[in-house]
Structure 1
Amino acid sequence: MDANLKHNIAFARLSEIEPAEIAAHMSDPRVAEHMPLLTFAWDDAAVRKFVAQKEECWNRDGLGHWAILSDGRYVGWGGFQKEGDEWDFGLVLRPDAFGLGTRISRKALEYAIADERIPFVTFLLPPSRKNLGALKRIGAKFLGEIEYDGARFLKFQLETA
């Protein structure tokens, strides 16, 4: 996918995506490379459980993770998940859509800026991620390293209010 071309980015619910498409996406070793919590095989049952968990976030918090579409084609998932008192932003793209990350993030962060419940957004990135320039460019501040579910992450925060 050429990231220099204009792409119509849209957000949909994960429940609208064929489970086999999500399973194929999450089974790609290039995706797993930067996901230390991805320690299981993605089959139909795993996708159903994942989508149900993400839908529960929407029901509980009124916001959650979306399926991300580029020109109507599923390219990944991401969005916001409430972790305690913080809203964490995550983005997991198919390898052929990695170049769309900044554009998708910008569109998603517009939601956070417009939502008065979200004074800031956090980002948890595995230490394997070395290119952090995009976070610096948008003004995210490094808070330090944390442990989450037994894995180390670099934690950043972006003020949205």
Structure 2
Amino acid sequence: MSRLNLSREEYIRRYREGVAKGVVLAATNPNQTAADARFNGFYAGAFTYNLTRYLWQQTSTPESAIAYVVPKIPKIFDQTPRYEIKVGSGYEKQPMYFINTSNPAADAVVTEVKGNEAKLWFGGVEMGAIAPGTVFNAIALKGKVTLRSREGLVGVATVEGAIQAGALLRKAG
């Protein structure tokens, strides 16, 4: 508040006016603490990890995103995700990102390819559902990758076909 030269009263007044331009997705109510949790070999924010997975799979509304994430947060955390919208805007019913995206749902993306080896980032896949040997098909290209190893959200895979950096992947069958 000091960098913005705002008094506490002015901050509260502006906050009560509502979200200035759009939508805020929050990990907690203002009086709660956002928790980190262990997810199959790595730590992440309980809200952030589940919201990220949702956004890779869905292009629905802020209302739907929060409805999906709430039951995914471990019950041991006293954490209630919520959203705020610009008053009277109807944004809670708008598609995420305020666009009707044509991007397909994806589980992972290829971040680098060297020869027949690719590095992957797992944004949308359930981490407990993959292990070495898991196959991912390219969505818009002809090719696939087979996971060799994983550390956290990053994997190394063997490439077959026309796979390149930026390729979106879906877990096979």
- Pair in the same fold by TM > 0.5: no
Computing the radius of gyration from Cα coordinates, the structure with the larger value is 2
TM superposition score normalised by structure 1: 0.28
TM superposition score normalised by structure 2: 0.27
